[in-house]
Amino acid sequence: MRAHVGLPTEAGFTRPAHDVRVSARVGLWLGVAFGVCFLTGLLSHAIQPPPGWFEWPTRPVSLYRITQGLHGLAGVAAIPRLLAKLWSVYPKLFARPAVRSPWHAVERGSVLVLIGAAFFQLATGLLNVFHAYPWRFFFPPVHHAVAWIAIGALIVHVGVKLPLIRDGLSDRVDDEPARFRRYYLVGSNVFFWGWRGAPAGCCATGGCMSPAATASSTRSTAAAARSAGRIRPAARFAILPSRATMIRPHRSRDTART
């Protein structure tokens, strides 16, 4: 008899990375990066070619280089922040019902526009840094037009989510117990130091368990690692690895006697 596998629900995502406090803080810094990109992009667009009322100052001579350096840095910095933001809020895709009201439909539509415009801006802007243009449109006017779409969708999104953002930013993340704080470090711990470097009570996927389940999981993980012969999957990237954190390869008793 085959087990029925249904779609996940929003309530099933309980990891701290999906908490509103995390998504609000990541979204704040993502919004700052987008704001810097938008303002410095407007300056760049206004100067090529400038309208009659606009005059670029002659001093300091490096002003344009500084503004466009900020534009590029903020755009590159926004890429991991956008991915982290989407990872934090993607359980909202499984909320049911998918559309609760006409206003909710408009909200979800604005989010779709925002995500599409953000990916377009970051992808085309990054390719522009390398002077790679695998498209047929002229980059400056299209990049400028989509920037207005992105910033408009961002304003709508912030306006709709403002109460939730305010609540998320007012609560401190470090108010959680220590076992939840360890969650944020378990990924890098496992990556650099192998399975034995993960905090007690946390598995490789970031979930925290009871002491009894932790002991059982530790034994099963060690046994699986020994039988597979691959103990530290990211050891090649380790920085100053400690010998104490390594699991020795398994040797059977018969092999040891011979």
Q: pLDDT-based confidence at 102, cuts 50/70/90?
A: confident
Cα–Cα distance, 231 to 21 (Å, whole number): 35
User: Hey, what are 186's tokens?
Assistant: 């378990």
Residue entry with tokens 């912030």? 158
Tens of pLDDT, residues 115-173: 999 999 999 999 999 999 999 999 999 999 999 999 999 999 999 889 889 988 887 76
Domains annotated for the chain, with CATH where assigned, are: 13-173 (1.20.950), 178-248 (no CATH)
Q: Is the pLDDT of residue 189 over 90?
A: no
Q: Is the pTM of this model over 0.75?
A: no
Q: Is the pLDDT of residue 49 over 90?
A: no
Please tell me the distance from the alpha carbon of residue 137 to that of residue 139, in angstroms, as a whole number.
6
Q: Pick the more confident residue, 22 or 232.
A: 22
pLDDT of 53 reads 84
Query: Concatenated DSSP letters for the chain?
Result: -PPP-----GGG---GGGSHHHHHHHHHHHHHHHHHHHHHHHHHHHTSSPPTT-----SSTTHHHHHHHHHHHHHHHHHHHHHHHHHHHGGGGG-SSS--SHHHHHHHHHHHHHHHHHHHHHHHHHHHHTT---SSS-HHHHHHHHHHHHHHHHHHHHHHHHHHHHHHHHS-GGGS-HHHHTHHHHHHHHHHH-GGGSPTTB-TTS-B--HHHHHHHHHHHHHHHHHHT---TTGGG-SS--GGGPPPPP--HHHHH-
What pLDDT, on a 0 to 100 scale, did the predictor assign at position 85? 93
CA 96, chain centre distance (Å):
24
Structure tokens at 34: 């987008």
Q: Are 224 and 218 in contact (CB under 8 A)?
A: no
| pLDDT at residue number 3 | 58
Amino acid, single-letter form, for residue 89: V
| Token pair belonging to 142 | 């299209």
Taking alpha carbons only, the member of 157, 171, 236, 231 closest to residue 195 is: 231
Nearest by Cα to 77 from 37, 134, 46: 37
pLDDT at residue 187 in the model: 41
For the cut 50, the answer to whether the pLDDT of residue 70 exceeds it is yes
Q: How far apart are CA 101 and CA 89, in angstroms?
A: 20
Kindly report, residue by residue over 192-229, the tens digit of the pLDDT.
444 444 444 444 444 444 445 545 555 555 555 445 54
